[in-house]
Amino acid sequence: MGRVETPSRESLETERAFIVQTVGRSEAALRSDAVSGALAGDEWRALERLDAIAFLLGETDNVSG
């Protein structure tokens, strides 16, 4: 506990691609479904991680609200 990791840009982008592939639709579609309350259970966890990845990559606009 209390560790700080510094993931690389490449590893974050790879992780994001894997998540998008797993949920089976684009990140934009996933975010749109979140707004309309249409996410399946595990997709909430995927969205949480995509938000974190966007922040870690410096894409501050690309987060859910």
Partner 1 sequence: MPQSLEAKVVDFARELSDTVSGTLPGAPGFDAEATVRGDGYFVRPTGDDGLATRIPLHVNGQRLAEFSAQIYLDQDSSRTYLKNVRSDFAAYSVLDKQPLFRLDYRADMHSAPAAHWQVHAERGSLTHLLAMSQAHRPRSVSAPHLLSRLHFPLGGERFRPCLEDLIQFFIEECGVDPVAGWRDVVDEGRERWRRKQLRSAVRDLQAEAADVLRAEGWRVSPPADPASERTNSLREW
Concatenating the DSSP letter of every residue in 8-41 gives -HHHHHHHHHHHHHHHTS-HHHHHHHHHTT---H
Q: Residue 18 interacts with partner 1 (CB under 8 A)? A: no
Between 29 and 35, CB nearer to partner 1: 35
Report the residue from 12, 20, 31, 62 that binds partner 1 according to the rule CB under 8 A.
12
Between 27 and 53, CB nearer to partner 1: 53
* Cβ contact 59:50 at 8 Å: no
Q: Residue 7 interacts with partner 1 (CB under 8 A)? A: yes
